[in-house]
Amino acid sequence: MTYRDDVVRVENKRAGTDAWRSGSGGLRDSDDERIQVQGYASTTSVAPGEVIDFHVTVDVPQSVTISIYRLGWYDGQGGRLVYTNPPLACQVHPVPPADPLTGTIECRWPPILRLRVPADWVSGLYVATFTSQSGTRGCTPFVVRDDRNPAELCVVLPFSTYQAYNQWPKDGRRGKSLYYGFPSPGAPIDPDARAFQVSFDRPYSDRGWPKQFDRDHDFVQWVEQRGYDVTYASTVDLHTGRIDPGRYAGLVFCGHDEYWSAEMVRAADQAVQRGVSLAFLAANNVYWRIRLEPSTDGRENRIVTCYKTAPDPTAGVDGLGATMRWRDLGGQGEHAEQRLLGVQYNGIVAAPSPLVVRNADHWFWERCRVTDGLELPRLVGGEADGYDPAMPAPVGVNSTILSASPYRLRNGTVHEQNTHLYETPGGALVFDAGTLHWTLALNRRGFRNQKIQIATRNLFDRIVRQKSSGR
């Protein structure tokens, strides 16, 4: 398929660098014990012409240099330097105490830099690095949106899930995520000490690289290497309605996208109804229902709320009930993620297992040279999805199971992983990879799998073709 020579392809012809990588230039990574240099951004996404603030702290007063890289292919370098400022004076800012009721750690550090994003910055996944005078570096990611131009595919980065897993500061004393906390200094990490609300107004742990962010960067490198016409957004943009799905052939959720608000689910449902395709390239998506709430100073969508199994004191504030698993809302599982995805999360994979091909004659597997029962090694890993006949499934659609892969849980129980695809009468395709190893197979050294690369191109090409043909 021929793709128009869009700005992303032109961008990737520019000279890249690997200076964004951990340890480059002999710099040491910051850690949560000393917090040598760490920071956060004022927003998960920003458009050219808008302002983004960076809030940084250091362990002793010193100067800090902020460099910003756009992540992409760049002939395998993985990033391009787009901005560096002169050294800025930086002060020590404390780690605030956790809220005693919600566990929220919300930094109110002043900005060290206010940056108006230049008009020529191409939409993409960016990372700001903070390099201290003493030779230590931290970083934080953000997205540059393009609110002006349509694209074939919009890649939505899972910032709500990044924050849910963020344990900052993971120092054995203070840090809290939506999973764990420290009940007392020096005590083992404990789910009973977890937070119920987490804030975007804090760094990501250690060097600032969110958990599983590498998998997303693998996809970004691959999709830009292949020359697809892509633009980028964050899950907060999906929540707020800044994403107009009708401008794209499909929305691509490349990462582990576990934490979804009602507004996000509604936007995805409406996209499918409009004939816009969805591609989920991981597993355990749309699992926990969240609310996005204002910071204590009133800035919208800076707090991720999810009480999970604990009583939610504000249940029903949006008419849906508690912040718990989507599948547990209502009486008959009517909100289960399978209703949208076609399959749903069914377990943690004890050890990487083969993905076993099914329906090999489907167009998805065209040119892959596969047969039913063929095993693609190590592709089922991390977490897995599968079809659950007890849960609601999409109705009035053409569904296909593309893999049927047995795998073991940590307790030895055998479950089945399913890669799944369905097509609506309006021409929308909804794909669920059903494994966290899919994007590794696209780009990760030692994991690349040509058959998965071809199959993913088949999927994206069909998504683009069906939109352009008006289906």
Q: Each residue of 374-414: pLDDT tens digit?
A: 999 999 999 999 999 999 999 999 999 999 999 999 999 99
Instruction: Kindly provide the b/e burial profile for residues 50-67, where b requires at least 16 CB atoms within 10 angstroms of the residue's own CB.
Output: eebbbbbbbbeebebbbb
The CATH class of the 7-243+288-305 domain is mainly beta
**CA nearest neighbour of 163 among 211, 103, 117, 106:** 211
CA distances from 14 to 21, 169, 305 (A): 18, 37, 41
Q: Would you tell me how many other CB atoms lie within 10 Å of the CB of residue 194?
A: 20
Residue 3: predicted pLDDT:
40
Specify the pLDDT at position 314: 85
C-alpha 421/C-alpha 402 separation (Å) is 7
Please list the pLDDT of the chain residue by residue as tens digits (471 residues): 334 458 999 999 999 999 999 999 999 999 999 999 999 999 999 999 999 999 999 999 999 999 999 999 999 999 999 999 999 999 999 999 999 999 999 999 999 999 999 999 999 999 999 999 999 999 999 999 998 889 999 999 999 999 999 999 999 999 999 999 999 988 999 999 999 999 999 999 999 999 999 999 999 999 999 999 999 999 999 999 999 999 999 999 999 999 999 999 999 999 999 999 999 999 999 999 999 999 999 999 999 999 999 999 988 777 778 999 999 998 788 999 999 999 999 999 999 999 999 999 999 999 999 999 999 999 999 999 999 999 999 999 999 999 999 999 999 999 999 999 999 999 999 999 999 999 999 999 999 999 999 999 999 999 999 876 665
- In the chain, where are the structural domains located? 7-243+288-305, 263-287+325-468
Phi and psi for 326 in degrees, rounded to 5? -55, -40
pLDDT at 471: 58
- Residue 470 confidence (pLDDT): 63
What is the CB neighbour count within 10 angstroms for residue 425?
A: 10
